[in-house]
Amino acid sequence: MKSHYQILVIGGGTGGIMTSANLLAKDKSLDIGLIEPAEWHYYQPAWTLVGGGTYDFEKTKRPMSSVMPYGVDWIKDYATGFNPEGNSVSTKESGDITYDYLIVSPGLVMDTSLIEGLTESLGKGVVCSNYTDPKHTWEVLRNFKGGNAVFTQPTTPIKCGGAPQKIAYLAADYFKKNGLKNKSNVVFATPGSVIFGVKEIRESLMQVISKYGIHFKPFYAPIKIDGENQIVTFKGVGTGENKCVINEDNELREVMSGEQIIEMPFDMLHLAPPQTAPKFVKESSLVNDAGWLDVDIHTLQHNKYPNIFGLGDVAALPTAKTGAAIRKQVPVVSDNIRQLIAYDKKGNKSYNGYSSCPLVTGYGKMILAEFDYDNNFIPDPKLKQMLVFNSEKEHWRLWMLKKYGLPYLYWNKMMKGKEV
């Protein structure tokens, strides 16, 4: 096993694989090593559909060996630490590996310890998450007989910020189609102040919420899960007129303690677990005060170490952590590194914060949110070729894109390093 590479990549997820493939497509002479311990590579955007019972989980996974770009040395090991001054990365079993340039893209990790009781409850009974086991979500959903179906998310950044509400819409549609609508209270509780940050999308989603009769609870931060007694505890994080209150009819059977603590019983609970950078990144000198990889938001170059770049979920970027974002980050990282190697200066490409969230709003319906750092709505002009002229509105063609088009794009274009 080699101990030095011209370019060393950490992470065999979307960012690491696509960037490596793109670099080699532009220059086959590049010497690239990629550190990744996992045997399987997952297409996680489809896990929402798995949780809704409309996609086969087995189709979301492929052997890591099948997506590893030809010409890349796969170092099947765990990265454990950084020595940026010495241009080296330590590993669990392969010793220290040095580099000329480093690309950090190990994704993020679930940290269930950040919500009391979550570690003990998650994946058991009616407490489920598409982020960890979407097959269990589908099992809980199809066995639901009525009561409170609660969907929530943490105060930490999460991958695909729209995912916690997508499954709520699928559940509401499922209950409606199966005669459970009048027996069910679908609740979407979020620490955030609005349903979505982009105005055009927010307006459409509020119509979806109204159509299904979903109880939308902003400023609700989950702090404790009691899986045995099926009670979720929230802390109200709003102030002034945004303080959480219990409705007069109290249909949800909430119990309030003091001014901030609300207990809500549930018959189904789906949540996105709290998420953080991996421990070896979080405890390194490469992160900002919030614990995420400290890179320039436009060049994706590390703010302290110029031969280190970062992209994907681990990066401290003020945009949604999605595969679509990575799709636009890869060309920037690839161009910058190739220009540095050839001319000792960065390229001219800049990342504008583009991200996309395919918001499934029911079976056969979807809204496509595309936006930049400033939350401007920036729909792809190519959508008109699909006869979709208002992607901020529900459309069956967008559902087809989500279920069939985007998985094809992922496996056959992005994993091959193609800029799409």
Which tens digits make up the pLDDT trace of 89-112?
A: 999 999 999 999 999 999 999 999
Q: In the structure, what pLDDT confidence band is assigned to residue 378 with cuts at 50, 70 and 90?
A: very high
Residue 258 pLDDT greater than 90, yes or no: no
Q: In the structure, what pLDDT confidence band is assigned to residue 249 with cuts at 50, 70 and 90?
A: confident
What would the mean pLDDT of 276-299 be, rounded to a whole number?
98
Which pair of structure tokens corresponds to residue 246? 């219990």
Does the reported pTM lie above 0.85? yes
Compute the distance between CA of residue 184 and CA of residue 177 in angstroms, rounded to an integer.
Answer: 12
Contact, 347 vs 339, CB < 8 A? Answer: yes
Choice among 264, 277, 357, 406 that is catalytic: 357
Per-residue pLDDT at 170? 98
- CATH hierarchy code of domain 4-108+277-352: 3.50.50.60
Per-residue pLDDT at 259? 84
Compute the distance between CA of residue 416 and CA of residue 225 in angstroms, rounded to an integer.
Answer: 42
Compute the distance between CA of residue 360 and CA of residue 248 in angstroms, rounded to an integer.
Answer: 32
Annotated active-site residue 244? The verdict is no
Per-residue pLDDT at 64? 98
What would the mean pLDDT of 152-174 be, rounded to a whole number?
97
Strand 184-189 versus strand 147-152 pairing type: parallel
Per-residue pLDDT at 209? 98
Contact, 351 vs 336, CB < 8 A? Answer: no
Taken as a whole, the chain contains a residue count of: 420
Per-residue pLDDT at 405? 96
Per-residue pLDDT at 240? 85
The neighbouring-strand residues paired with 369 are 357
Q: What is the pLDDT of residues 31-68, one digit of tens each?
A: 999 999 999 999 999 999 999 999 999 999 999 999 99
Compute the distance between CA of residue 114 and CA of residue 223 in angstroms, rounded to an integer.
Answer: 8
Per-residue pLDDT at 106? 98
Q: Where are the domains of the chain?
A: 4-108+277-352, 112-274
Residue 248 pLDDT greater than 80, yes or no: no
Residue 25 pLDDT greater than 80, yes or no: yes
Annotated active-site residue 357? The verdict is yes
Q: What is the pLDDT of residues 191-225, one digit of tens each?
A: 999 999 999 999 999 999 999 999 999 999 999 99
Identical fold, 4-108+277-352 and 112-274? yes
Per-residue pLDDT at 97? 98
Per-residue pLDDT at 136? 98
Per-residue pLDDT at 304? 98
The mean pLDDT of the chain is 97
Choice among 75, 160, 262, 359 that is catalytic: 160
Per-residue pLDDT at 314? 98
Contact, 78 vs 95, CB < 8 A? Answer: no
Q: In the structure, what pLDDT confidence band is assigned to residue 1 with cuts at 50, 70 and 90?
A: confident
Per-residue pLDDT at 139? 98
112-274: CATH topology is: FAD/NAD(P)-binding domain (3.50.50)
262-300 burial: b if 16+ Cβ within 10 Å, else e: bbbbbbbbbbbbbbbbbebbbebebbeeebbbbbbbebb
Q: What is the pLDDT of residues 111-148, one digit of tens each?
A: 999 999 999 999 999 999 999 999 999 999 999 999 99
Which pair of structure tokens corresponds to residue 314? 């681990």
Q: In the structure, what pLDDT confidence band is assigned to residue 370 with cuts at 50, 70 and 90?
A: very high
Residue 405's contacts (CB-CB under 8 Å, 6 or more residues apart) are none
Residue 322 pLDDT greater than 80, yes or no: yes
DSSP state of 287: B
In 111-228, at which residue ranges do the beta strands (DSSP E only) sit? 127-128, 147-152, 184-189, 215-217, 220-226
